[in-house]
Every structure is written in C-alpha cells, then in structure tokens.
Chain A
Amino acid sequence: MCGIVGLFLKDKTLEPQLGAMLSEMLIVMTDRGPDSAGIAIYGSATPGQAKITVQSANPDVDFAGLETALGETLAAPVAVIRKSSHAVITLPLAVLELARAALAELRPAIRVMGRGESVEIYKEVGLPAEVVKRFSVASMSGTHGIGHTRMATESAVTTMGAHPFSTGPDECLVHNGSLSNHNNLRRELKRDGVRFETENDSEVAAAYISNKIAHGMNLGEALESGLSDLDGFFTFVVGTGSGFGVVRDPIACKPAIMAETDRYVAFGSEYRALVNLPGIESARVWEPEPATVYFWEH
C-alpha cells in the first residue's frame, strides 16, 4: 500500500507548524505501511549556504570530529548538527559538490539522504510516530514538505530503501505503487552517468526526474515525460526548492486526495490524513485526475 502525505504552505504564519502538521498527517497513515517512514522538510534557505543531510549506522563513530575534518578538507566554514542517526551539514553552496566527494573519502560509511539549499531529509526503518519523534520533526518549521510510510514491495526494508528519495539538489520524491520497468530504466540512466544507492524502484523514478531536469526540462515537463516512460502504478508527490507536485499514472488505482485553501495545498493517500488541517471543512477537496500533473510554486 504505502501512505503519502504532503503539505505546501501559502500562509507564512503556518510555517512554524509545518513539521507538527506533517508529522500528524503521516502518523495517521501508519497502517498503510509499517516498514519505514521518512520526511523531507523544506526550511528557509540562507543565500550562499547549502545543507547535506547524512545518515550513519554508527553515528557515534562517523559524526565524531566530522565538522573539523570536513572544514579542513574543504577549507570552508562547516557546521554539523547531529540528530540521532542523521546529521545536517551546513556549508557554503560553492563547495556542496566538493563536500560530497570529500565525505565519501572521510567517512565512507556515511550515506547522503539529500542535499540542497533548503531540504532536510530524515528517514529510518520503523513506524512514523517513532521516526518523527527520533528526529524532532514536529518542532521543525518550513515552507513545504512531504512524508511517506512504506509497505515494502520491490526492495529490502532498510533505511536507504525508505522514502523520500532525493537524487538531485533540493529534489525529492515519495511513491505509492510499483514500477514494472525500473530495471531497464536503471540501466539506461546508469549509461547516462546516474549513480544509484539502492535496488528500489522508487529511486529509479526519482533519478529519472532528476535526470530529465539535469537535461534542461522543468519539473512539469519531467513529470509529463515520466507518464510515457514509467510503466507501472504510481502516485508520486515531489518536492523542489520552491515547488510541490503530484502525478498519478493513467490507471490511477493508487489512492490520492488533495485539499486546497487560501493557506495551503495538502495531499494525502486518504482523507483521514487531512482531517486535522485548519479549515479543512471548507477547503476545496478533490481526487487528482489520472495522468495529470499538478504543481504549485512559491
């Protein structure tokens, strides 16, 4: 099954509550997938600064001294804030790609969850309530975010197999469904230089979209193109630095419901996920059409 939620705020006064609202939405969706959970939050960006969210199975070892070591290697100011098995590394945008290479050298066991100017991604094996508590997601503020609770069908139950999948700067994707041509697409993307972290079909979808964007498409065009190239069942919710998109496959058997008010756009696999949002009683609530791209941007 899998459960997906997403929230894109239009009203700035709601921003301090983003993490709390998104956490609540995701916890309601727990019974759609008990294997793992994850959340991506787009916080405020500082001009010239970038963030990398990393994860380690041995955080005590891998995060010890990381700030100093990475700062010296990059010759740049680096800050590392640890949250449980994850850490957010803040550093100058100019050295973001260098930092990824440096991290692979300095701490080979570290996994990069996501990178960009505003996104932070937290995901682990376990139920949403445990995962959001572990990373204090409820206290996070931000402009938009997406979350996922997974019932594994296509690959192993591991931290890296959890959603969201982030394969480009400030890009991330959550998926409910299963793709049938992911192996072939993965081969094609690999030939184009894309690197994969898992055997997961959803990572292929995320990488497909990032790859199209890297080749000059905008997100809307990339999602349209995915409708013809991705075979299988999907409801995708995607985030970018400033935007929030939704698309379902032409068969559209994976559930989806959306709500929009003057204050926000919200997505849930089920209506239950939306019931605590402010003003939901008078919101425009609808089921997204199959093979139709929906997108909002700040």
Chain B
Amino acid sequence: MATFDLATATLRELNAQLHATQSGSNDTAWEVLNPRGAHSVAVGIDAPLHVDVHGSVGYYCGGMNSQGTVTVHGSAGPGVAENMMSGIVHIKGDASQYAGATGRGGLLIIDGNAASRCGISMKGIDIVVRGSVGHMSAFMGQSGNLVVLGDAGEALGDSLYEARLFVRGSVKSLGADCVEKPMRDEHLAILADLLERAGIDDVEPSEFTRYGSARTLYNFNIDNADAY
C-alpha cells in the first residue's frame, strides 16, 4: 500500500501518480493523508485502484472516476464524483452540492446527507444516500438511479427525463413533470441490488416510494408552458 501525505506533497503529484498507475500494477491500494479540504483529490482515475482518503475533501473529489474505488473517511465538498464513468466513490460523511452531477456510470455512496442538486443531470450513475438530499435533486436526470434513505428537499426530480428516484422518507415537493410511480417487482429488484452493493442491510426495498418522469415535457406543448 502506498501512502501519500498531502501535507508534504502536492495534489498534482498525487493525481499524476494515480494516473500513471496502470491496470495490472501491484500498487493498486493508496492511502491519502491530510487532504484538509483540498479540491480535486483523486480525480481522473482510470484503473482499478483503491484510494482511501483520510479526512474531508473539497470540490470534485473522485471526479471522472473510471474503475477506481475512492473512499473518503470524512465529508466531501461540492461536485463529488462529478461525471463518474464507472467504479465506486464512497463518502463516509456528508456531501455538499451537486454530488454525482452528470455521472454516466458507477456507484456513489454517501453515508451522511447530500446537499442540493444531488444527481443533477445524472446520465447513468447510481447514487445511494443514507441520509437526506437537498432541493432540486436529480434535476434533469436522464438515466440511472437515485436512492435516498432519508428525506428529499423541494422540487425533487424537476424536469426529469428517465432516471429512477427511490425515496424512503418524505419528499418536500416534486419538481415539474416528476410524479410518484408504482413500485413493481423489477424496481424492487433494482433497489435490492443497489442497497446490497451499498452495504445497506437494515432497510427493505418495500419501504421506498418510486418517482419518475411523467414525460409531458419531452416535446414542447403550449399547454405545458407553465411547467417549463
């Protein structure tokens, strides 16, 4: 296991070394110390690496991740796992705004709460939040799953396309074109798989409500003008 101390080395060196580590290398496990809220920790990984970050990070941690597993033993600032392609980003604390934004694949797990716009414009990423999410989460979500064990803030799923939203707690309000939908067996199966992959075994898929797009905003219709 390689240890990288951000108190003595630069972030650029860390990310350069992560990028230089090829698939099949023996040095696939990394520990990062003293992040102290630094931005862009462990971004752009493109190999099956395991990176454990001890402390809280700033903006864009784990951004663009492909194949890697990034675990933050602390909280994350805005834009964690932004545009993730595959792999896992696991935040043990809270996440700030737009967690998992535009993510195309992979799994983002947040043990605490996520702030506003969690999963904004998600395009295939799966996001599991043990706590609550803030307002306008999954705004313009296009595909993937957002699972919230706690509550959701205002305008959940505003202008949603095809992403599936599962919320166990209350939803303050639904955004334009987002509606409650029946939970069919296929959805229970998707949810059970996501919970298992996120290491959550103390809640049942049946405790969740599913939300999705009413699909009335796909084409411009003058009758919907108020909803745009």
Contacts and interface: CB of A to CB of B under 8 A. Distances in A.
Q: How large is the interface on A (under 10, 10 to 19, 20 to 34, 35 or more residues)?
A: 10 to 19
B37 A255 contact: no
B97 A255 contact: yes
A26 to B, nearest CB: 15
A76 interface: no
Interface stretch (A84-92, A118-126, A270-278): A270-278
A271 B77 contact: yes
Interface string B21-36: 0000000000000001
B37 A270 contact: yes
A253 interface: yes
A270 B36 CA distance: 11
A205 B37 CA distance: 30
B66 to A, nearest CB: 26
B92 interface: no
B132 to A, nearest CB: 11
A252 interface: yes
Interface string B117-147: 0000000000000000011000000000000
Nearest to A289: B134
A257 B116 contact: no
Given A271-B75, A285-B75, A257 B36 contact: no
Contacts of A72: none
A287 B94 contact: yes
A290 interface: yes
Contacts, number: 42
B36 A275 contact: yes
Contacts of B116: 252-253, 290
Given A257-B96, A270-B77, A271-B77, A287 B115 contact: yes
Nearest to A252: B116
A287 B134 CA distance: 10
> DSSP majority for the B interface?
loop
A255 B96 contact: yes
A141 to B, nearest CB: 26
Nearest to A275: B36
A78 B22 CA distance: 71
B56 interface: yes
A270 B94 contact: no
Given A252-B116, A287-B115, A272 B96 contact: no
B60 to A, nearest CB: 12
Contacts of A270: 37, 58-59, 77
A24 to B, nearest CB: 12
A240 to B, nearest CB: 28
Given A252-B116, A290-B135, A275 B37 contact: yes
A151 B227 CA distance: 35
A1 to B, nearest CB: 11
B214 interface: no
Nearest to A274: B37
Contacts of B135: 252, 290
B94 A271 contact: no
Nearest to B57: A271
B78 interface: yes
A272 B115 contact: no
Interface string A220-260: 00000000000000000000000000000000110101000
Interface in A161-214: none
A272 B78 contact: no
Contacts of B59: 270
A275 B6 CA distance: 14
A275 B75 CA distance: 12
Nearest to B38: A272
Given A285-B75, A287-B115, A290-B135, A272 B37 contact: yes
A285 to B, nearest CB: 7
Nearest to A285: B75
A272 B36 contact: yes
A271 B115 contact: no
Sort A-B residue pairs by CB-CB distance and give the 9 closest, nearest first. A272-B37, A271-B37, A275-B36, A287-B115, A271-B56, A275-B37, A270-B58, A272-B58, A252-B116
Given A253-B97, A290-B134, 20 more contacts: A252-B116, A252-B135, A255-B77, A255-B78, A255-B96, A270-B37, A270-B59, A270-B77, A271-B56, A272-B58, A273-B37, A275-B36, A285-B56, A285-B94, A286-B94, A287-B94, A287-B96, A287-B97, A289-B134, A290-B116
Interface of B: 36-38, 56, 58-59, 75, 77-78, 94, 96-97, 115-116, 134-135
8 contacts: A255-B78, A257-B77, A272-B36, A274-B37, A275-B36, A285-B56, A285-B94, A287-B97
